[in-house]
Structure 1
Amino acid sequence: MKTYIKNMWKDLVDNKEVIIVLSIVWVVLFEQFSIPTFLVGLLMAVLVVLFTDRFLLKGNYEHSYMIGLGTLTKYGLRLLLEILVAGIDVIPNIITGKADVQIISCETKLTDELLIDILANSITLTPGTVTVEKKGSKLRVLALNAPGEDEDPRAVIPLKLEGILLRYEEKIEGKA
């Protein structure tokens, strides 16, 4: 019994960043900051981590999902900026009816499947683009006002987001 509790405590300590993030998400979703809301969020985060470790993952989230808290924060802030800029850029095209929709094939420089999935989902979150297919590092993107034939098809990818993920991928590969 002592070993079980010791392992459970070790899992909680190893995943403290995830517990904090989940608690913050809980508070944000409830749209009010109060001590009871935060404590219930903290309890739910602990239960989620314990359940996931017991039945699903068997290990540290960062090792399983490979995304550190710093990279996740940097990526999230950059994604919000990309969404705002793309939204402002797309609005005049939609209002004037000058939107030309095409499916563009492009390839990301990422090699890790999880990071490619994150990038593909980020493309879909960015106004004016939707990832319609992913095969390895090849993406097919439905794009509003897509780049022309003489332009780089990778222009539909938010390149600064890809850059953050590339740096993280290189850092992880350097440790392996």
Structure 2
Amino acid sequence: MKKFHPKLFLILFMFWLLLTLNLEISNIIGGLLVSFIVTYLSFGILYSEKGFEFTFPGVFTIIKYFFILIFEIYISAIDLIKSIIKNEYNPSIIELKLNIKDPLLITLVANSITLTPGTITVDKNANHLTVIYIRADKDKKVEKNIRHKFERIFKTKD
């Protein structure tokens, strides 16, 4: 039997209202309906009888992550422009096994890699990521950078 998670329902509905910024009755009813359906269908994926299937990072962790991500996007964009101008690109595939186990955090790291110019996450299998990098990864520089910049932010004490 599927359970209903009221906390998730409220989060989704508040997010709906923030995104639409529309307090007309039709929008409120639509938001309630969509939030209910998504909450109901998310049982076993986002939450179970025990609660959420993943842990939410703390507010300070998210703020730190946001600033590091923005910084890395700009640094990588400048580096990519230099590589293109100098004609120094030779795409390579990097296999990376993350030390974090939480699927939400692994997805955040994978999306961070894709958002950073010059790298794309093409596959995610549990905590294994396959990444395409615009240049040859000498001395595992990209892997070290991913671990140091992104994975380290979300590393939890086991």
Alignment TM-score, normalising by the size of structure 2: 0.68
Instruction: Give the number of equivalent residue pairs.
Output: 150
> Given the alignment, which residue of 134, 141, 147 partners 1:144?
134
1:100 pairs with 2:86? no
Higher RCO structure (Cα 8 Å, ≥6 apart)? 2
SS in 1 for 2:73: helix
Question: Per the alignment, do residues 124 and 158 of structure 1 end up closer, same or farther by CA in structure 2, a change over 3 Å counting?
Answer: farther
Identity %, equivalent residues: 28
Match of 2:113 in 1: 123
Match of 1:157 in 2: 146
Unaligned ranges ≥5, structure 1: 1-7, 28-36
1:63 pairs with 2:52? yes
Structure 2 letter corresponding to 1:39: L
Structure 2 letter corresponding to 1:163: R
Task: Compare 75-84 and 120-129 and name the one that shifted more.
Answer: 75-84
Determine if contact 1:19/1:46 at 8 Å carries over to the other structure: yes
Measure the CA separation in 2 of the matches of 1:94 and 1:115.
32
How far residue 52 of structure 1 moved from its aligned partner, in angstroms, is: 1.8
- Greater helix percent: which structure? 1
Measure the CA separation in 2 of the matches of 1:104 and 1:140.
6
Determine if contact 2:121/2:131 at 8 Å carries over to the other structure: yes
Unaligned ranges ≥5, structure 2: none
1:39 pairs with 2:23? yes
> Over the residues paired in the alignment, what is the CA RMSD in angstroms?
3.6
Alignment TM-score, normalising by the size of structure 1: 0.62
How far residue 77 of structure 1 moved from its aligned partner, in angstroms, is: 4.2
Determine if contact 2:8/2:39 at 8 Å carries over to the other structure: no
Determine if contact 2:92/2:135 at 8 Å carries over to the other structure: yes
SS in 1 for 2:23: helix
Determine if contact 1:15/1:60 at 8 Å carries over to the other structure: no
Determine if contact 1:131/1:139 at 8 Å carries over to the other structure: yes
